[in-house]
Chains A and B, each alone.
Chain A
Protein backbone atom coordinates (compact mmCIF):
# COMPACT_ATOMS: atom_id res chain seq x y z
CA UNK A 1 0.00 0.00 0.00
CA UNK A 2 2.89 2.40 0.70
CA UNK A 3 3.65 2.40 -3.02
CA UNK A 4 0.39 4.23 -3.57
CA UNK A 5 1.60 7.53 -2.11
CA UNK A 6 4.74 7.67 -4.26
CA UNK A 7 2.73 6.63 -7.30
CA UNK A 8 0.22 9.40 -6.69
CA UNK A 9 3.03 11.89 -6.28
CA UNK A 10 4.90 10.91 -9.47
CA UNK A 11 1.70 10.89 -11.53
CA UNK A 12 0.81 14.26 -10.02
CA UNK A 13 4.12 15.74 -11.17
CA UNK A 14 3.86 14.14 -14.63
CA UNK A 15 0.29 15.32 -15.16
CA UNK A 16 1.24 18.77 -13.94
CA UNK A 17 3.96 18.88 -16.61
CA UNK A 18 1.37 17.93 -19.19
CA UNK A 19 -1.31 20.35 -17.96
CA UNK A 20 0.78 23.44 -17.14
CA UNK A 21 1.60 24.41 -20.75
CA UNK A 22 -2.09 24.16 -21.61
CA UNK A 23 -3.12 26.26 -18.63
CA UNK A 24 -0.36 28.73 -19.53
CA UNK A 25 -1.66 29.11 -23.08
CA UNK A 26 -5.27 29.51 -21.96
CA UNK A 27 -4.68 32.01 -19.17
CA UNK A 28 -1.90 33.78 -21.10
CA UNK A 29 -4.14 34.50 -24.07
CA UNK A 30 -7.05 35.42 -21.80
CA UNK A 31 -5.06 37.95 -19.79
CA UNK A 32 -2.54 39.28 -22.35
CA UNK A 33 -4.34 39.13 -25.69
CA UNK A 34 -8.01 39.28 -24.78
CA UNK A 35 -7.24 41.42 -21.69
CA UNK A 36 -10.34 40.34 -19.89
CA UNK A 37 -11.02 39.10 -16.42
CA UNK A 38 -12.14 35.51 -16.33
CA UNK A 39 -15.91 35.24 -15.89
CA UNK A 40 -16.90 33.30 -12.77
CA UNK A 41 -13.26 32.89 -11.84
CA UNK A 42 -13.85 30.81 -8.71
CA UNK A 43 -16.04 28.28 -10.44
CA UNK A 44 -13.62 27.96 -13.37
CA UNK A 45 -10.65 27.45 -11.08
CA UNK A 46 -12.56 24.83 -9.08
CA UNK A 47 -13.39 23.09 -12.34
CA UNK A 48 -9.75 23.07 -13.45
CA UNK A 49 -8.72 21.69 -10.07
CA UNK A 50 -11.34 18.94 -10.39
CA UNK A 51 -10.18 18.05 -13.90
CA UNK A 52 -6.58 17.89 -12.76
CA UNK A 53 -7.24 15.87 -9.59
CA UNK A 54 -9.62 13.60 -11.48
CA UNK A 55 -7.05 12.91 -14.18
CA UNK A 56 -4.37 12.06 -11.61
CA UNK A 57 -6.62 9.62 -9.72
CA UNK A 58 -7.84 8.12 -12.99
CA UNK A 59 -4.31 7.50 -14.27
CA UNK A 60 -3.04 6.08 -10.98
CA UNK A 61 -6.07 3.81 -10.76
CA UNK A 62 -5.63 2.56 -14.33
CA UNK A 63 -1.94 1.93 -13.73
CA UNK A 64 -2.76 -0.04 -10.59
CA UNK A 65 -5.79 -2.04 -11.66
CA UNK A 66 -6.40 -2.24 -15.37
CA UNK A 67 -3.12 -1.83 -17.25
CA UNK A 68 -1.04 -4.56 -15.59
CA UNK A 69 -3.94 -7.00 -15.80
CA UNK A 70 -4.84 -6.10 -19.37
CA UNK A 71 -1.25 -6.27 -20.57
CA UNK A 72 -0.64 -9.67 -18.96
CA UNK A 73 -3.89 -10.87 -20.50
CA UNK A 74 -2.94 -9.65 -23.95
CA UNK A 75 0.39 -11.47 -23.62
CA UNK A 76 -1.23 -14.69 -22.41
CA UNK A 77 -3.94 -14.73 -25.04
CA UNK A 78 -1.46 -14.22 -27.86
CA UNK A 79 0.97 -16.82 -26.49
CA UNK A 80 1.17 -19.75 -28.97
CA UNK A 81 1.03 -22.18 -26.02
CA UNK A 82 -2.46 -20.92 -25.23
CA UNK A 83 -3.64 -20.82 -28.84
CA UNK A 84 -2.48 -24.21 -30.01
CA UNK A 85 -5.50 -26.49 -29.91
CA UNK A 86 -3.70 -29.84 -29.94
CA UNK A 87 -5.32 -31.08 -33.15
CA UNK A 88 -2.60 -29.84 -35.46
CA UNK A 89 0.41 -27.77 -34.61
CA UNK A 90 0.10 -25.36 -37.51
CA UNK A 91 -1.42 -22.06 -36.44
CA UNK A 92 -4.02 -20.67 -38.81
CA UNK A 93 -5.66 -17.26 -38.55
CA UNK A 94 -8.84 -18.93 -37.29
CA UNK A 95 -7.09 -20.39 -34.24
CA UNK A 96 -6.96 -16.94 -32.73
CA UNK A 97 -10.68 -16.67 -31.98
CA UNK A 98 -10.14 -15.74 -28.32
CA UNK A 99 -7.85 -12.95 -29.46
CA UNK A 100 -10.53 -11.53 -31.76
CA UNK A 101 -13.13 -11.79 -29.03
CA UNK A 102 -10.80 -10.14 -26.51
CA UNK A 103 -9.95 -7.38 -28.98
CA UNK A 104 -13.62 -6.74 -29.57
CA UNK A 105 -14.62 -6.82 -25.90
CA UNK A 106 -11.73 -4.69 -24.68
CA UNK A 107 -12.23 -2.23 -27.55
CA UNK A 108 -15.88 -1.79 -26.72
CA UNK A 109 -15.49 -1.51 -22.96
CA UNK A 110 -12.50 0.82 -22.89
CA UNK A 111 -14.16 3.13 -25.39
CA UNK A 112 -17.27 3.36 -23.20
CA UNK A 113 -15.04 4.50 -20.32
CA UNK A 114 -12.97 6.95 -22.39
CA UNK A 115 -13.28 10.38 -20.71
CA UNK A 116 -12.77 12.39 -23.90
CA UNK A 117 -15.61 10.53 -25.59
CA UNK A 118 -17.86 11.25 -22.61
CA UNK A 119 -16.94 14.93 -22.97
CA UNK A 120 -17.75 15.05 -26.67
CA UNK A 121 -21.03 13.18 -26.23
CA UNK A 122 -22.11 15.61 -23.49
CA UNK A 123 -21.36 18.50 -25.80
CA UNK A 124 -23.07 16.92 -28.81
CA UNK A 125 -26.19 16.25 -26.76
CA UNK A 126 -26.36 19.88 -25.67
CA UNK A 127 -25.58 21.39 -29.07
CA UNK A 128 -28.07 19.17 -30.91
CA UNK A 129 -30.79 20.16 -28.44
CA UNK A 130 -31.11 16.58 -27.23
CA UNK A 131 -31.46 15.04 -30.71
CA UNK A 132 -28.24 13.06 -30.22
CA UNK A 133 -28.38 10.90 -27.14
CA UNK A 134 -25.05 10.62 -25.32
CA UNK A 135 -25.46 6.87 -24.89
CA UNK A 136 -26.46 6.23 -28.49
CA UNK A 137 -23.38 8.08 -29.68
CA UNK A 138 -21.03 6.38 -27.25
CA UNK A 139 -22.33 2.91 -28.06
CA UNK A 140 -22.04 3.62 -31.80
CA UNK A 141 -18.43 4.74 -31.33
CA UNK A 142 -17.65 1.75 -29.10
CA UNK A 143 -19.02 -0.68 -31.69
CA UNK A 144 -16.81 0.95 -34.30
CA UNK A 145 -13.78 0.68 -32.04
CA UNK A 146 -14.56 -2.98 -31.31
CA UNK A 147 -14.71 -3.80 -35.01
CA UNK A 148 -11.58 -1.76 -35.70
CA UNK A 149 -9.46 -3.43 -33.04
CA UNK A 150 -10.48 -6.98 -33.90
CA UNK A 151 -9.86 -6.29 -37.58
CA UNK A 152 -6.49 -4.83 -36.59
CA UNK A 153 -5.69 -8.10 -34.79
CA UNK A 154 -6.76 -10.05 -37.87
CA UNK A 155 -4.49 -7.92 -40.03
CA UNK A 156 -1.44 -8.55 -37.86
CA UNK A 157 -2.16 -12.27 -37.76
CA UNK A 158 -2.62 -12.57 -41.53
CA UNK A 159 0.15 -10.06 -42.29
CA UNK A 160 -1.85 -8.20 -44.95
CA UNK A 161 -0.68 -4.68 -45.83
CA UNK A 162 -2.04 -1.95 -43.57
CA UNK A 163 -2.48 0.73 -46.22
CA UNK A 164 -4.93 -1.37 -48.23
CA UNK A 165 -7.30 -1.55 -45.25
CA UNK A 166 -6.94 2.16 -44.57
CA UNK A 167 -7.68 3.08 -48.16
CA UNK A 168 -10.69 0.78 -48.34
CA UNK A 169 -11.86 2.44 -45.11
CA UNK A 170 -11.46 5.90 -46.67
CA UNK A 171 -13.54 4.89 -49.67
CA UNK A 172 -16.25 3.60 -47.32
CA UNK A 173 -16.19 6.84 -45.31
CA UNK A 174 -16.55 8.94 -48.45
CA UNK A 175 -19.45 6.85 -49.74
CA UNK A 176 -21.23 7.07 -46.39
CA UNK A 177 -20.64 10.83 -46.27
CA UNK A 178 -22.70 11.19 -49.44
CA UNK A 179 -25.71 9.50 -47.87
CA UNK A 180 -25.47 10.36 -44.17
CA UNK A 181 -27.54 13.21 -42.65
CA UNK A 182 -25.58 16.51 -42.88
CA UNK A 183 -25.88 17.13 -39.15
CA UNK A 184 -23.84 14.12 -38.11
CA UNK A 185 -20.88 14.35 -40.49
CA UNK A 186 -18.56 16.63 -38.54
CA UNK A 187 -19.31 14.80 -35.30
CA UNK A 188 -18.68 11.43 -36.94
CA UNK A 189 -15.28 12.56 -38.23
CA UNK A 190 -14.43 13.80 -34.75
CA UNK A 191 -15.40 10.57 -33.05
CA UNK A 192 -12.49 8.82 -34.73
CA UNK A 193 -9.96 10.93 -32.89
CA UNK A 194 -11.61 10.86 -29.48
CA UNK A 195 -11.77 7.09 -29.22
CA UNK A 196 -8.07 6.63 -28.75
CA UNK A 197 -7.07 8.27 -25.50
CA UNK A 198 -6.02 7.43 -22.00
CA UNK A 199 -7.72 4.07 -21.53
CA UNK A 200 -7.66 2.52 -24.98
CA UNK A 201 -4.20 3.24 -26.36
CA UNK A 202 -2.00 1.37 -23.83
CA UNK A 203 -4.13 -1.78 -23.97
CA UNK A 204 -4.50 -1.79 -27.72
CA UNK A 205 -0.80 -1.14 -28.20
CA UNK A 206 0.00 -4.04 -25.83
CA UNK A 207 -2.26 -6.35 -27.80
CA UNK A 208 -0.72 -5.32 -31.12
CA UNK A 209 2.81 -5.70 -29.80
CA UNK A 210 1.98 -9.09 -28.26
CA UNK A 211 0.59 -10.35 -31.54
CA UNK A 212 3.39 -8.96 -33.66
CA UNK A 213 6.04 -10.55 -31.47
CA UNK A 214 4.44 -14.01 -31.18
CA UNK A 215 2.82 -14.66 -34.57
CA UNK A 216 5.43 -16.41 -36.74
CA UNK A 217 6.81 -14.20 -39.50
CA UNK A 218 5.78 -10.88 -37.95
CA UNK A 219 8.18 -8.31 -36.59
CA UNK A 220 7.06 -6.05 -33.74
CA UNK A 221 8.96 -3.20 -35.35
CA UNK A 222 7.09 -3.38 -38.64
CA UNK A 223 3.76 -5.00 -37.83
CA UNK A 224 3.02 -3.87 -34.28
CA UNK A 225 1.66 -0.53 -35.47
CA UNK A 226 -1.67 0.10 -37.10
CA UNK A 227 -4.10 -0.96 -34.39
CA UNK A 228 -4.66 2.63 -33.25
CA UNK A 229 -5.25 3.76 -36.81
CA UNK A 230 -7.98 1.15 -37.15
CA UNK A 231 -9.53 2.24 -33.86
CA UNK A 232 -9.69 5.76 -35.27
CA UNK A 233 -11.17 4.84 -38.61
CA UNK A 234 -14.04 2.53 -37.83
CA UNK A 235 -15.98 4.74 -35.38
CA UNK A 236 -16.38 7.28 -38.22
CA UNK A 237 -18.29 4.64 -40.17
CA UNK A 238 -20.29 3.32 -37.22
CA UNK A 239 -21.40 6.80 -36.13
CA UNK A 240 -22.56 7.66 -39.66
CA UNK A 241 -24.32 4.30 -39.83
CA UNK A 242 -25.99 5.05 -36.50
CA UNK A 243 -27.30 8.35 -37.86
CA UNK A 244 -28.42 6.71 -41.10
CA UNK A 245 -30.32 4.02 -39.22
CA UNK A 246 -31.98 6.54 -36.88
CA UNK A 247 -33.04 8.67 -39.84
CA UNK A 248 -34.36 5.67 -41.71
CA UNK A 249 -36.34 4.50 -38.69
CA UNK A 250 -37.79 7.98 -38.14
CA UNK A 251 -38.88 8.02 -41.77
CA UNK A 252 -40.48 4.56 -41.47
CA UNK A 253 -42.34 5.65 -38.35
CA UNK A 254 -43.57 8.80 -40.03
CA UNK A 255 -44.83 6.79 -42.98
CA UNK A 256 -46.54 4.25 -40.70
CA UNK A 257 -48.27 7.08 -38.84
CA UNK A 258 -49.43 8.62 -42.08
CA UNK A 259 -50.87 5.34 -43.27
CA UNK A 260 -52.56 4.87 -39.89
CA UNK A 261 -54.48 8.15 -40.28
Chain B
Protein backbone atom coordinates (compact mmCIF):
# COMPACT_ATOMS: atom_id res chain seq x y z
CA UNK B 1 0.00 0.00 0.00
CA UNK B 2 2.80 2.39 0.93
CA UNK B 3 4.63 1.38 -2.22
CA UNK B 4 1.50 2.17 -4.27
CA UNK B 5 1.25 5.56 -2.65
CA UNK B 6 4.89 6.29 -3.34
CA UNK B 7 4.49 5.37 -6.99
CA UNK B 8 1.44 7.60 -7.19
CA UNK B 9 3.25 10.55 -5.62
CA UNK B 10 6.24 10.23 -7.91
CA UNK B 11 3.91 10.11 -10.95
CA UNK B 12 2.18 13.20 -9.57
CA UNK B 13 5.49 15.06 -9.45
CA UNK B 14 6.22 13.96 -13.02
CA UNK B 15 2.86 15.31 -14.17
CA UNK B 16 3.58 18.61 -12.49
CA UNK B 17 6.83 18.85 -14.41
CA UNK B 18 5.12 17.80 -17.67
CA UNK B 19 2.63 20.62 -17.37
CA UNK B 20 4.99 23.33 -16.17
CA UNK B 21 5.97 24.43 -19.73
CA UNK B 22 2.34 25.07 -20.75
CA UNK B 23 1.70 27.10 -17.61
CA UNK B 24 4.81 29.19 -18.26
CA UNK B 25 3.98 29.77 -21.93
CA UNK B 26 0.38 30.78 -21.27
CA UNK B 27 1.37 33.06 -18.38
CA UNK B 28 4.12 34.71 -20.43
CA UNK B 29 1.92 35.48 -23.42
CA UNK B 30 -1.01 36.60 -21.31
CA UNK B 31 0.89 38.83 -18.90
CA UNK B 32 3.89 40.04 -20.92
CA UNK B 33 2.85 40.03 -24.57
CA UNK B 34 -0.89 40.68 -24.46
CA UNK B 35 -0.63 42.50 -21.08
CA UNK B 36 -3.91 41.22 -19.76
CA UNK B 37 -4.81 39.74 -16.39
CA UNK B 38 -5.82 36.08 -16.24
CA UNK B 39 -9.60 35.90 -16.60
CA UNK B 40 -11.43 33.55 -14.17
CA UNK B 41 -8.39 32.77 -12.10
CA UNK B 42 -10.41 30.30 -10.02
CA UNK B 43 -11.42 28.32 -13.12
CA UNK B 44 -7.87 28.23 -14.35
CA UNK B 45 -6.57 26.97 -11.00
CA UNK B 46 -9.27 24.30 -10.64
CA UNK B 47 -8.69 23.23 -14.25
CA UNK B 48 -4.96 22.96 -13.77
CA UNK B 49 -5.37 20.80 -10.66
CA UNK B 50 -7.77 18.52 -12.58
CA UNK B 51 -5.35 18.23 -15.50
CA UNK B 52 -2.47 17.27 -13.21
CA UNK B 53 -4.56 14.70 -11.31
CA UNK B 54 -5.98 13.33 -14.56
CA UNK B 55 -2.58 12.90 -16.18
CA UNK B 56 -1.26 11.15 -13.06
CA UNK B 57 -4.16 8.68 -12.97
CA UNK B 58 -3.88 8.06 -16.71
CA UNK B 59 -0.17 7.23 -16.54
CA UNK B 60 -0.64 4.94 -13.50
CA UNK B 61 -3.48 3.22 -15.33
CA UNK B 62 -1.32 2.61 -18.40
CA UNK B 63 1.25 0.80 -16.29
CA UNK B 64 -1.33 -1.23 -14.38
CA UNK B 65 -3.87 -2.02 -17.07
CA UNK B 66 -3.52 -0.99 -20.70
CA UNK B 67 0.10 -1.94 -21.31
CA UNK B 68 0.15 -5.37 -19.63
CA UNK B 69 -3.27 -6.30 -21.05
CA UNK B 70 -2.40 -5.19 -24.59
CA UNK B 71 0.81 -7.16 -24.48
CA UNK B 72 -0.74 -10.28 -22.99
CA UNK B 73 -3.31 -10.22 -25.81
CA UNK B 74 -0.55 -9.91 -28.40
CA UNK B 75 1.26 -12.89 -26.86
CA UNK B 76 -1.95 -14.90 -26.77
CA UNK B 77 -2.62 -14.18 -30.46
CA UNK B 78 0.93 -15.18 -31.36
CA UNK B 79 0.50 -18.46 -29.45
CA UNK B 80 -2.89 -19.17 -31.00
CA UNK B 81 -1.29 -18.82 -34.41
CA UNK B 82 -4.48 -17.93 -36.28
CA UNK B 83 -3.60 -15.18 -38.74
CA UNK B 84 -7.27 -14.66 -39.60
CA UNK B 85 -8.27 -13.78 -36.04
CA UNK B 86 -5.19 -11.63 -35.55
CA UNK B 87 -6.09 -9.59 -38.64
CA UNK B 88 -9.72 -9.41 -37.55
CA UNK B 89 -8.59 -8.09 -34.17
CA UNK B 90 -6.18 -5.61 -35.77
CA UNK B 91 -8.89 -4.30 -38.08
CA UNK B 92 -11.49 -4.06 -35.32
CA UNK B 93 -9.07 -2.21 -33.08
CA UNK B 94 -8.21 0.31 -35.80
CA UNK B 95 -11.77 0.81 -36.99
CA UNK B 96 -13.39 0.78 -33.55
CA UNK B 97 -11.03 3.23 -31.92
CA UNK B 98 -11.27 5.70 -34.79
CA UNK B 99 -14.90 5.86 -35.82
CA UNK B 100 -16.04 7.47 -32.53
CA UNK B 101 -12.92 9.60 -32.01
CA UNK B 102 -14.07 13.12 -30.96
CA UNK B 103 -11.25 14.92 -32.80
CA UNK B 104 -12.20 13.13 -36.02
CA UNK B 105 -15.88 14.02 -35.59
CA UNK B 106 -14.87 17.68 -35.27
CA UNK B 107 -12.63 17.61 -38.33
CA UNK B 108 -15.25 15.78 -40.41
CA UNK B 109 -17.75 18.49 -39.56
CA UNK B 110 -15.31 21.22 -40.63
CA UNK B 111 -14.61 19.30 -43.81
CA UNK B 112 -18.29 19.04 -44.68
CA UNK B 113 -18.58 22.81 -44.32
CA UNK B 114 -15.58 23.27 -46.60
CA UNK B 115 -17.13 20.93 -49.16
CA UNK B 116 -20.46 22.75 -49.02
CA UNK B 117 -18.69 26.10 -49.33
CA UNK B 118 -16.75 24.86 -52.34
CA UNK B 119 -19.94 23.71 -54.06
CA UNK B 120 -19.03 20.02 -53.96
CA UNK B 121 -22.27 19.15 -52.17
CA UNK B 122 -25.48 21.17 -51.78
CA UNK B 123 -25.28 23.34 -48.66
CA UNK B 124 -28.09 21.70 -46.68
CA UNK B 125 -27.71 20.01 -43.33
CA UNK B 126 -28.69 16.51 -44.43
CA UNK B 127 -26.12 16.53 -47.24
CA UNK B 128 -23.42 17.88 -44.93
CA UNK B 129 -24.14 15.25 -42.27
CA UNK B 130 -24.00 12.51 -44.84
CA UNK B 131 -20.71 13.82 -46.18
CA UNK B 132 -19.23 14.02 -42.67
CA UNK B 133 -20.38 10.50 -41.78
CA UNK B 134 -18.97 9.12 -45.03
CA UNK B 135 -15.68 10.80 -44.28
CA UNK B 136 -15.55 9.35 -40.77
CA UNK B 137 -16.21 5.84 -42.04
CA UNK B 138 -13.58 6.29 -44.73
CA UNK B 139 -11.00 7.33 -42.15
CA UNK B 140 -11.95 4.49 -39.77
CA UNK B 141 -11.66 1.96 -42.62
CA UNK B 142 -8.25 3.35 -43.52
CA UNK B 143 -7.00 3.03 -39.94
CA UNK B 144 -8.29 -0.55 -39.71
CA UNK B 145 -6.50 -1.28 -42.97
CA UNK B 146 -3.32 0.40 -41.66
CA UNK B 147 -3.18 -1.73 -38.51
CA UNK B 148 -3.71 -4.89 -40.58
CA UNK B 149 -0.86 -3.93 -42.94
CA UNK B 150 1.29 -3.02 -39.93
CA UNK B 151 0.66 -6.39 -38.30
CA UNK B 152 1.41 -8.15 -41.58
CA UNK B 153 4.69 -6.24 -41.72
CA UNK B 154 5.61 -7.42 -38.21
CA UNK B 155 4.76 -11.03 -39.12
CA UNK B 156 6.81 -10.89 -42.28
CA UNK B 157 9.61 -8.72 -40.93
CA UNK B 158 9.50 -6.24 -43.82
CA UNK B 159 11.69 -3.18 -43.20
CA UNK B 160 9.39 -0.32 -42.30
CA UNK B 161 10.95 2.28 -44.58
CA UNK B 162 9.85 0.48 -47.77
CA UNK B 163 6.24 0.40 -46.66
CA UNK B 164 6.38 4.06 -45.60
CA UNK B 165 8.01 5.16 -48.85
CA UNK B 166 5.32 3.31 -50.80
CA UNK B 167 2.74 5.15 -48.71
CA UNK B 168 4.41 8.51 -49.37
CA UNK B 169 4.27 7.78 -53.08
CA UNK B 170 0.59 7.02 -52.71
CA UNK B 171 0.08 10.40 -51.05
CA UNK B 172 2.08 12.24 -53.72
CA UNK B 173 0.22 10.56 -56.58
CA UNK B 174 -3.19 11.13 -55.01
CA UNK B 175 -2.36 14.79 -54.41
CA UNK B 176 -2.01 15.28 -58.17
CA UNK B 177 -5.51 14.01 -58.83
CA UNK B 178 -7.51 14.99 -55.75
CA UNK B 179 -9.71 18.11 -55.81
CA UNK B 180 -7.94 21.07 -54.25
CA UNK B 181 -10.29 21.64 -51.32
CA UNK B 182 -9.88 18.11 -49.95
CA UNK B 183 -6.06 18.12 -49.83
CA UNK B 184 -5.62 20.14 -46.63
CA UNK B 185 -8.31 18.13 -44.86
CA UNK B 186 -6.82 14.85 -46.03
CA UNK B 187 -3.37 15.78 -44.74
CA UNK B 188 -4.81 16.78 -41.37
CA UNK B 189 -6.92 13.66 -40.83
CA UNK B 190 -3.67 11.69 -40.67
CA UNK B 191 -2.91 13.42 -37.41
CA UNK B 192 -6.25 13.29 -35.69
CA UNK B 193 -6.87 9.56 -35.97
CA UNK B 194 -4.53 8.41 -33.25
CA UNK B 195 -6.16 9.20 -29.94
CA UNK B 196 -4.87 9.01 -26.40
CA UNK B 197 -6.25 5.53 -25.78
CA UNK B 198 -5.45 4.12 -29.20
CA UNK B 199 -1.76 4.96 -29.06
CA UNK B 200 -0.79 2.95 -25.95
CA UNK B 201 -2.95 0.00 -27.01
CA UNK B 202 -1.61 -0.15 -30.54
CA UNK B 203 1.96 0.30 -29.31
CA UNK B 204 1.51 -2.54 -26.80
CA UNK B 205 0.08 -4.74 -29.56
CA UNK B 206 3.03 -4.08 -31.89
CA UNK B 207 5.71 -4.48 -29.27
CA UNK B 208 4.00 -7.55 -27.80
CA UNK B 209 3.75 -9.24 -31.22
CA UNK B 210 7.32 -8.42 -32.19
CA UNK B 211 8.68 -9.76 -28.92
CA UNK B 212 6.77 -13.04 -29.11
CA UNK B 213 7.64 -13.87 -32.72
CA UNK B 214 11.03 -15.46 -33.23
CA UNK B 215 13.50 -13.36 -35.21
CA UNK B 216 11.66 -10.06 -34.68
CA UNK B 217 13.14 -7.21 -32.72
CA UNK B 218 10.63 -5.26 -30.62
CA UNK B 219 12.51 -2.03 -31.26
CA UNK B 220 12.81 -2.15 -35.07
CA UNK B 221 9.69 -4.23 -35.75
CA UNK B 222 7.41 -3.45 -32.82
CA UNK B 223 6.95 0.24 -33.46
CA UNK B 224 5.48 1.63 -36.66
CA UNK B 225 1.79 0.76 -36.38
CA UNK B 226 0.89 4.36 -35.52
CA UNK B 227 2.94 5.62 -38.45
CA UNK B 228 0.76 3.59 -40.81
CA UNK B 229 -2.38 4.74 -39.03
CA UNK B 230 -1.47 8.35 -39.71
CA UNK B 231 -0.48 7.73 -43.33
CA UNK B 232 -3.33 5.72 -44.87
CA UNK B 233 -6.10 8.19 -43.93
CA UNK B 234 -4.48 10.79 -46.20
CA UNK B 235 -4.67 8.46 -49.19
CA UNK B 236 -8.17 7.22 -48.41
CA UNK B 237 -9.59 10.70 -47.78
CA UNK B 238 -8.21 12.05 -51.05
CA UNK B 239 -9.83 9.06 -52.72
CA UNK B 240 -13.10 9.97 -51.00
CA UNK B 241 -12.78 13.52 -52.31
CA UNK B 242 -12.28 12.23 -55.85
CA UNK B 243 -15.32 9.97 -55.69
CA UNK B 244 -17.58 12.78 -54.47
Contacts and interface: CB of A to CB of B under 8 A. Distances in A.
Interface string B148-189: 000000000000110011001001100100001101110110
A137 B89 CA distance: 30
Given A22-B96, A38-B69, A109-B21, A196 B192 contact: yes
A18 interface: yes
Interface string A2-43: 001000000000100111011011100110011010111001
A33 B39 CA distance: 53
A163 B183 contact: yes
B58 A30 contact: no
B131 to A, nearest CB: 14
B91 to A, nearest CB: 10
A55 interface: yes
B51 A57 contact: yes
B224 interface: yes
B134 interface: no
Chain A's interface size range is 35 or more
Nearest to A118: B59
Interface in B46-74: 46-69, 72-73
B73 A47 contact: no
B222 interface: yes
A73 B171 CA distance: 34
A242 interface: no
B197 interface: yes
B117 interface: yes
Interface residues of B, number: 108
A256 interface: no
B89 A33 contact: yes
Interface string A193-233: 11111110100010000000000000001111111110110
A157 interface: no
A110 B54 CA distance: 15
Contact of B61 (A48, A186, A192, A224): A48
Chain A binding surface, main DSSP class:
helix
Nearest to A21: B96
B226 A193 contact: yes
B231 to A, nearest CB: 8
Interface in B184-209: 184-185, 187-188, 190-201, 203-204, 207
Contacts of B145: none
Nearest to B18: A113
21 contacts: A17-B100, A25-B96, A34-B73, A38-B69, A40-B68, A50-B61, A57-B54, A58-B51, A64-B46, A66-B51, A77-B33, A108-B21, A120-B226, A127-B222, A182-B220, A183-B220, A185-B160, A190-B223, A190-B226, A196-B192, A229-B188
Interface of A: 1, 4, 14, 17-19, 21-22, 24-26, 29-30, 33-34, 36, 38-40, 43-66, 69-70, 72-73, 76-77, 82, 98, 102, 105-106, 108-110, 112-113, 115-116, 118-120, 122-124, 127-128, 162-163, 166-167, 170, 173-174, 177, 182-183, 185-187, 189-190, 192-199, 201, 205, 221-229, 231-232
Interface of B: 18-19, 21-22, 24-26, 28-30, 33-34, 38-39, 42-69, 72-73, 76-77, 80, 85, 88-89, 92-93, 96-97, 99-103, 106, 110, 113-114, 117-118, 160-161, 164-165, 168, 171-172, 175, 180-181, 183-185, 187-188, 190-201, 203-204, 207, 211, 218-227, 229-230
Q: Which 5 A-B pairs have the closest CB atoms?
A: A47-B65, A65-B47, A50-B61, A225-B184, A61-B50
